[in-house]
Structure 1
Amino acid sequence: MNLLFLLVYFVIILVVIETFVILFRLTGLKVEVSRFQVISMMTGTGFTTGESELILGHPIRRKLAAFLILFGAFSLAVIISSISQFLSKGLRLTEILLGAGAIIIVYCTLKVKGIQQLLSKLFNQELKHNVELADLPIRDIFLKNKEDTLVNLHLYGESQLTDSTLNQVFPQHGSLEFVVLFIERGDVMIRKNIYDTTLHEGDHLLLFGRKAVIHQTFSHDIHLMEEKQKELQDQPGEI
């Protein structure tokens, strides 16, 4: 009987995981990211990864995450208490099967394409009505198109942009599909006259636009930045 209970409980956990994977996917999160984060929240392990920001910065995902964390905490207590009740023959298997059946019905309902479209529409409406743009993760604001990207370009002494302006290096930048959002110079954010500002070693440029255009236009500086970062990672640590 104990083995049967464990099997039923295992099925319940799997169904809950897949149910919330569907719900997170309907908010725009990738399936592989959703599944890992759902398991992390239920078990209380691994949720401190960088991908967790995709959930913490999204109001609807935060609500789903809160339920999962609570479910994970209480489910462990339930399985321990339930096994002890089984040992004392105080819990009926029918109750467990009914609970498992209800969860499976919810999961099967969410698998229906029409239901998914309806929920996706409701999620988007809630975001439009109740959420400020600043509350959303940067990926949800800027990276709506798979062809777009954000690049934090670090300038070095050998960069082609160093000691020059963007207008000097790329006089036709207006016809290209990218923009420079700002220049970070130490603690200073430069937002005015960006394209006429002389760039210095150590500056950071936040670029937004077509991935192919940015990587082609700034190929030299991006390649240099990647090499410098790789050299830094390969340096042996100090003893």
Structure 2
Amino acid sequence: MWFIVTYIAIVLLVIEIAVVLMRSTGLKYDIARFQVISLLTSTGFTTRESELILGHPVRRRLGMFLILFGVFSLAVIISSISSILAPEFRISGLAVIPALLAVILLLLKLPAVGPLLQSKFAMPLERKFEVDELPINDVLLHCDDDTFIDIPIGADSALIGQTLDKLWLNHSDADMNVLFIGRGAETVRKNRMTTKLEQGDVLYLYGESGHIRRAFDMELRARERIPADERKAWSWMERGS
């Protein structure tokens, strides 16, 4: 019984340590935890998120360790059960392992250790996938001021009946681009700058957040007042969330 408890403690501590290390490479917590458990158990390792592991040298090494640890776990359990049946087996020797792992986990969670690990593990992803397979954040957002946002044209918007090319005359130096206009189930791309805007249209913009804020201040204020559930009804960006 004590062996089972000790071994479970070892597995849980290995998971927590691996999650901390994965997060130090830049992964989000939920992705890091899911991928660590998936690697350890060899189940549920999704294709899209696997690129985040395989394309990073540190994450790849951690993944290899977790796969091997999971594979050999079954053999360890079987051999340990045999050892338990032997009269000379001592659980105290095995208990040292979770104690050591607990110390390592506590050290990794120290506030000063996190930034140090992030600086050591900061490495670019090796390109092994197409641009259209990457999330928008990785493709478009290269600076802290970059943004990709959808802006609805409400009933009170002064842009109704206007075209974007005229708006751009007043913001000719602005670092922003309209990728397309969402109009119901349709998209307006080719004539997006000369199409008269209607109530219910959604502008999909990419550029410097401050410039977009100055050009569409009224529309952005109205957008912030829309409840999240209602926003999903018209936002193509949020329908899958």
How many residues are aligned here? 205
Counterparts of 1:193 and 1:210, CA distance in 2: 23
Cross-structure match for 2:171: 173
Q: Which runs of 5+ in 2 are unaligned?
A: 39-45, 232-241
Cα distance between partner residues in 1 of 2:32 and 2:229: 36
Return structure 1 stretches of 4+ with deviation > 6 angstroms: 62-65, 98-105, 111-118
1:59 to 35, 46, 51: 51
Give the 3-state SS of the residue equivalent to 1:152 in structure 2: strand
TM-score w.r.t. structure 1 length? 0.61
Counterpart for residue 190 of structure 2 = 192
Equivalences for residues 28-177 of structure 1 within 5 A: 28-29=26-27, 33-34=28-29, 36-40=30-34, 56=48, 59-61=51-53, 85=81, 89=85, 93=91, 94=93, 120-121=122-123, 124=125, 126-127=126-127, 130-177=128-175
2-structure distance, mates of 1:41, 1:85: 29
Provide the rounded CA distance (Å) in 1 between the counterparts of 2:216 and 2:143. Answer: 20
Cross-structure match for 1:10: 9
- In structure 1, give the amino acid aligned to 2:18: T
Distance in 2 (CA, whole Å) between partners of 1:222 and 1:179 is: 16
1:82-115 per-position Cα deviation (integer Å, ceiling 9, x unaligned): 8x9499646765568669979999xx99x89999
Q: Which residue of 1 aligns with 2:239?
A: none
1:149, 1:208 within 8 Å by CA — same for their partners in 2? yes
Gaps of 5+ in 1: 45-52, 234-239
Identify the residue that residue 237 of structure 1 maps to in structure 2: none
Task: Say if 2:15 is the partner of 1:23.
Answer: no
User: RMSD value over aligned CA atoms?
Assistant: 4.6
Aligned residue type for 1:59 = E
Whether contact under 8 Å (2:162, 2:196) holds in the other structure is yes
Question: Which has a greater percent of helix?
Answer: 1
Q: Return the offset for 1:182.
A: 1.0
Q: Normalising by structure 2, report the TM-score.
A: 0.61
Query: Residue by residue, what CA displacement relative to the aligned partner does 1:139-184 show, whole Å, maximum 9, x if unpaired?
Result: 1111222221111111122112221111223413331021111111
Give me the whole-angstrom Cα distance separating, in 1, the residues matched to 2:153 and 2:177.
Answer: 17
